[in-house]
Chains A and B, each alone.
Chain A
C-alpha cells in the first residue's frame, strides 16, 4: 500500500463518518459522543453496552444506526424466560422429498450483523452467556456444528440502571467482553424541544442507508493500521496500571476504592478506541489525547470497586476522571 492509498483511505474513512453522523443526527438529538462511541466500537470490532434511564433513546439510536449502516439487524428483548436457543437458534426435524427426516439448523436472531440486546440484564445468566460467547468467539456452536457469524458482527446491549428488581446484573467477567460502556444522559431543554418537534408530528424523519457492509470492513482495516508510538502506548499502559490498587503506579483513589483494576483487554480497548478516535479527528497517529478521550468509556465497566466505594457512593467515573486528570502525559 502506498502513501497515496493510505491518504485516500483516511479521506474515505472521514467522509463515511461524516455521512453516518449526519444521517444519525436526523433522528437522534444530541448524544454526539455516544454516536461516536458506538461507531468506534463497531470499527474497532468491539461490542457496546449502553446504559441509560428509560426513554432517552437507547433503542432508537441502535435502530437508526442499523438503518444507516445497511446491515442485517435483529433485536432481542431479553426477559427472564428467554432461553439460549431463542438467541442462537435450534435444530428442527425436517423431512426431505424421500420422506427421510433430518435435523436442520434454524439460526436465531443472533445471526445478524447488528444485534440489539435490549435490557440484557433481565435474562438469566445462562442466556446471557450464550450471547457473550458469540460476542467473544464470533461464532455459535450448536451440537457438533460451529456456525460462524457474518462480519461485521456487532452487539449493542442496553441496560437500565434503575429497575434492578428481578434482574441479573452482568458479572465482571462478562462486562469485560464489552469494548465500551456508554452512558446516555438526559437531554437538556433545547434538545427536548428538538426531540418533541421531531417525534410528535405526523411524519417522523427518515434516514438513508449510507454505508454498506464492505465499506465498514474497510474502515475497520484502516483503523487497525494507525501507528502508535511507544510513548503513547506506554501512557495507555500506565493509565491501566494506575487503576490497579496493588501496582506500583497505582493512584491513591484506586488504592482506596478499587478491588480489581482494568484488565489487559481494557488496554487493548484503549489503544484500538484511540486509533479510531485519531482517524475521526484527522490524525494519522495516536495521540495521548485520543487515549484520554476513550479512557472513560473503555475502562469504567472494567473496574471492580470495593465495599468502601459503595459505602462512600464513589463510582468508577469519578475515580477514572481523577486518574486521567492527574496522570502525566508523555
Chain B
C-alpha cells in the first residue's frame, strides 16, 4: 500500500465516523421535528374533531404524514451527502493536533507536485494516518438534542393520554365557533324560514313578504355578498319600523290607561294596559263585561255592532273611544249599546295584541339577521382591510398644492383647514397641518411630527388686487431630512479627516506636545 493509499484509507475512515455523528445529529433533529408535528397533530385532532381531509385522512393526520415525509426526505438527502476529503483532513488535523500534516499531504497528492519534499511529507502523513486511533479521534457522540426528543416523546405520550378527555372542550369551542363559521349561516336561514312560516300562520302578510324576500336573496345561488347585505338591510329596516310601531302602541295603551283614571272596576284593565299587555287587557275587559251582567239580549246587538266595524283594524282611537264610553256609563248593568262598545274594545285589543306579538317575533328575527350579517362581514374583513390600506396609501396628488408626493401622505388636512371658516380654525396656526404645533390646548393631545419634513413655501398671487389677492402658503417637501450618518460615526469621520489634514506634518500625535514644549522653551530662552 502506497503512502497515498494509506492516507486516503485513513481519511475515509475518519469521514465515515464523522458522517455517523452527523447522521445522528440529523436523525435527532428529524425526530424532534416529527415529534413536534405529532404533538401538533394530536392537539389539532383533539380540538377540531374527526373531519375528512386528504385521501380519507383527517386534516391533522394528513399534515402529520406530510411533515414526516418532508423531514424524512431532508434527513435522507443530508445523510447521503459526503464531506469533501479536504474538510475531513482539516478536521482530522484539528482534532488530532497534526499541524495540517494530513491536509497539506492530501493537497500535494491532488496537485502532483514534483519535489523531493513531497514524498517526505507523504511518508510522514501516512505514518501519522496509519497510527490514528479513529475511535479516540472521532468518538461517536450522542447529540444534545436527544434530551429534547425525549421530552417531546413524554409530552406526546401525555397528550395522547389526555386527548380523549378533550372533546367537551372541543364541543364548547365548536359551539362557540358556529356563530362565526359559514355553517352558522345555514342555521340562521333555517330559523328565518320558521319565522316566515310563523308570520303566514299569524296572517302577517307584510312580514311574511319581507322575510321571504330576504330568504330568497340569501339562498339564491351565486348571490353576491352585496345583494345579501342589501336584502338583510331592507329586512332589518322593516323590523325596526315594526318595533317602533309596537313601542308607539304600548305608549298609547299607557295613555289610554291614564285616561281611564282610578276607577276601581277597571283596575285590572288599567294595569294590563300600563304593562302593554293588550291580550291581558282584553281578557280583563271580557271578565268585567261578564261581571256587569251581560245579558243574552244584549249580545246580539253588540256582536252586530262589532261586526259592523272592519275586523283586524286595531285602531287605537276607536279603542280609546269605546273604553271611555264604557267607563262613563253610569249604569251598573251594561246596556246593549255599551256591550257593543265593550265587544269592539275587546276586538281592538286582540288586534293590537296580535300586532305586538308579531313585532316581538320580528325582533327575534332581527337578532338572527344580525348574526347572519355578522358572519358575512367577517368573511369580507380581509377585503375591507385591503380597501383601508388603499385609502391610507399616499396619493401622489394633493388637491390643494399640486403634485406633492410626500412621505406620510398628502396634505389633505391642510386643505381641510384652509377650507374651514376662520372661526372654526384650530387656533389659526399654519403649522397644524404639518404637525408643527406643540399640541392642541383643548384636547391636550401631542401632535406627532410626520416622518417627512416640510418647509414653508409662499407663492405670490398674480392678482395683487381684489378679494382673491392672497398669497398661497403651503408646505412642500424640504431638502432637509434625517441624518444619513449616525452621531457616533460623525466624530469618527471628523477625526479621520482631521488626521488626513494633519498627516503632512509627519509628527505623530504623541510627539506633538513634546515638539510644542521644545519650541516654547526656545521662545522663552530667546526672551531672556
Contact (Cβ within 8 A) B120 A330: no
Given A232-B100, A330-B90, A307–B509 Cβ distance below 8 Å? Answer: yes
Shortest CB-to-CB span from B519 to chain A, Å, is: 12
In the assembled complex, the Cα of A226 lies from the Cα of B99 at a distance in Å of: 15
Q: Chain A, 284-302, contact with B by CB distance < 8 Å: what is the 0/1 string?
A: 1111111000000000000
Contact (Cβ within 8 A) B100 A287: yes
Interface size on A, residues (CB 8 A): 33
Binds A, one of B148-156, B320-328, B494-502: B494-502
Contact (Cβ within 8 A) A229 B499: no
Q: Which residues of B contact A287 (CB under 8 A)?
A: 99-101, 104
Contact (Cβ within 8 A) A231 B90: yes
Contact (Cβ within 8 A) A227 B100: no
- Does B511 lie at the interface of the complex (its beta carbon under 8 Å from any beta carbon of A)? yes
Contact of A227 among B86, B94, B108 (CB under 8 A): B108
- Does B113 lie at the interface of the complex (its beta carbon under 8 Å from any beta carbon of A)? yes
In the assembled complex, the Cα of A310 lies from the Cα of B509 at a distance in Å of: 7
In the assembled complex, the Cα of A154 lies from the Cα of B104 at a distance in Å of: 32
Given A289-B100, A330-B103, A227–B118 Cβ distance below 8 Å? Answer: yes
Q: Chain A, 84-112, contact with B by CB distance < 8 Å: what is the 0/1 string?
A: 00000000000000000000000000000
Contact (Cβ within 8 A) A7 B509: no
In the assembled complex, the Cα of A285 lies from the Cα of B118 at a distance in Å of: 9
Q: Chain B, 98-137, contact with A by CB distance < 8 Å: what is the 0/1 string?
A: 0111011101100101011111110110000000000000
Contact of A231 among B86, B94, B511, B514 (CB under 8 A): B86
Q: Which secondary structure dominates chain B's binding surface?
A: helix
In the assembled complex, the Cα of A164 lies from the Cα of B90 at a distance in Å of: 47
Q: Which residues of B contact A290 (CB under 8 A)?
A: 99
- Does B492 lie at the interface of the complex (its beta carbon under 8 Å from any beta carbon of A)? yes
Q: Which residues of A contact B113 (CB under 8 A)?
A: 227
Give the contacts of A299-330 with B (CB-CB under 8 A). 306-308, 310-311, 329-330
- Does B172 lie at the interface of the complex (its beta carbon under 8 Å from any beta carbon of A)? no
Contact (Cβ within 8 A) A229 B514: no
Q: Chain A, 160-179, contact with B by CB distance < 8 Å: what is the 0/1 string?
A: 00001100010100000000
- Does B387 lie at the interface of the complex (its beta carbon under 8 Å from any beta carbon of A)? no
- Does B518 lie at the interface of the complex (its beta carbon under 8 Å from any beta carbon of A)? yes
Contact (Cβ within 8 A) A229 B107: yes
Contact (Cβ within 8 A) A6 B510: no
Shortest CB-to-CB span from B225 to chain A, Å, is: 56
Contact (Cβ within 8 A) A230 B107: yes
Given A285-B101, A287-B100, A3–B120 Cβ distance below 8 Å? Answer: yes
Tier of interface size on chain B: 20 to 34
Contact (Cβ within 8 A) B103 A231: yes
Q: Which residues of B contact A201 (CB under 8 A)?
A: none
Q: Which residues of B contact A227 (CB under 8 A)?
A: 104, 108, 113, 115, 117-118, 121
Shortest CB-to-CB span from A285 to chain B, Å, is: 4
Given A232-B104, A287-B101, A169–B508 Cβ distance below 8 Å? Answer: yes
- Which of A1, A2, A286, A330 is packed against the most chain B CB atoms within 10 Å? A330
Q: Which residues of B contact A232 (CB under 8 A)?
A: 100, 103-104
Contact (Cβ within 8 A) A307 B499: yes
Contact (Cβ within 8 A) B118 A229: no
Give the contacts of B82-100 with A (CB-CB under 8 A). 86, 90, 94, 99-100
Shortest CB-to-CB span from A5 to chain B, Å, is: 7
Q: Chain A, 25-44, contact with B by CB distance < 8 Å: what is the 0/1 string?
A: 00000000000000000000
Contact (Cβ within 8 A) A225 B509: no
In the assembled complex, the Cα of A330 lies from the Cα of B89 at a distance in Å of: 10
In the assembled complex, the Cα of A283 lies from the Cα of B97 at a distance in Å of: 13
Q: Which residues of B contact A306 (CB under 8 A)?
A: 495-496, 499
In the assembled complex, the Cα of A232 lies from the Cα of B101 at a distance in Å of: 11
Q: Which residues of A contact B514 (CB under 8 A)?
A: 164-165
Give the contacts of A227-276 with B (CB-CB under 8 A). 227, 229-232, 259
Contact (Cβ within 8 A) A6 B509: no
Contact (Cβ within 8 A) B100 A284: no
In the assembled complex, the Cα of A1 lies from the Cα of B510 at a distance in Å of: 55
Residue of B nearest to A1 (CB): B116
Contact (Cβ within 8 A) A288 B495: no
Give the contacts of B473-499 with A (CB-CB under 8 A). 492, 495-496, 498-499
Contact (Cβ within 8 A) B107 A231: yes
In the assembled complex, the Cα of A104 lies from the Cα of B136 at a distance in Å of: 73
Shortest CB-to-CB span from A301 to chain B, Å, is: 14
Shortest CB-to-CB span from B124 to chain A, Å, is: 6
In the assembled complex, the Cα of A5 lies from the Cα of B118 at a distance in Å of: 13
Given A3-B120, A225-B117, A307–B107 Cβ distance below 8 Å? Answer: no
- Which of A1, A290, A307, A329 is packed against the most chain B CB atoms within 10 Å? A307
Residue of B nearest to A329 (CB): B94
Shortest CB-to-CB span from B363 to chain A, Å, is: 73
Shortest CB-to-CB span from B101 to chain A, Å, is: 7
Contact (Cβ within 8 A) A288 B100: yes
In the assembled complex, the Cα of A283 lies from the Cα of B99 at a distance in Å of: 9
Residue of A nearest to B105 (CB): A285
In the assembled complex, the Cα of A226 lies from the Cα of B100 at a distance in Å of: 14
Shortest CB-to-CB span from A329 to chain B, Å, is: 7
In the assembled complex, the Cα of A206 lies from the Cα of B221 at a distance in Å of: 114
Shortest CB-to-CB span from A10 to chain B, Å, is: 8
Contact (Cβ within 8 A) A285 B104: yes
Contact (Cβ within 8 A) B511 A285: no
Q: Which residues of A contact B118 (CB under 8 A)?
A: 227
Contact (Cβ within 8 A) A3 B518: no
Contact (Cβ within 8 A) A229 B115: no
Contact (Cβ within 8 A) B120 A7: yes
Q: Chain A, 186-223, contact with B by CB distance < 8 Å: what is the 0/1 string?
A: 00000000000000000000000000000000000000
Shortest CB-to-CB span from A281 to chain B, Å, is: 8
Given A3-B116, A284-B121, A307-B496, A165–B518 Cβ distance below 8 Å? Answer: yes
Given A227-B115, A227-B118, A284-B117, A307–B103 Cβ distance below 8 Å? Answer: no
Closest 9 CB pairs of A and B: A307-B499, A229-B104, A287-B99, A287-B100, A229-B107, A285-B104, A6-B116, A284-B120, A310-B509
Given A164-B510, A231-B103, A287-B100: 10 more A-B contacts, CB < 8 Å? A164-B514, A227-B108, A227-B113, A230-B111, A231-B100, A231-B104, A232-B100, A232-B103, A285-B121, A307-B499
Q: List 9 A-B contacts (CB under 8 A).
A: A1-B116, A6-B120, A229-B103, A232-B103, A283-B99, A289-B100, A290-B99, A307-B498, A308-B496
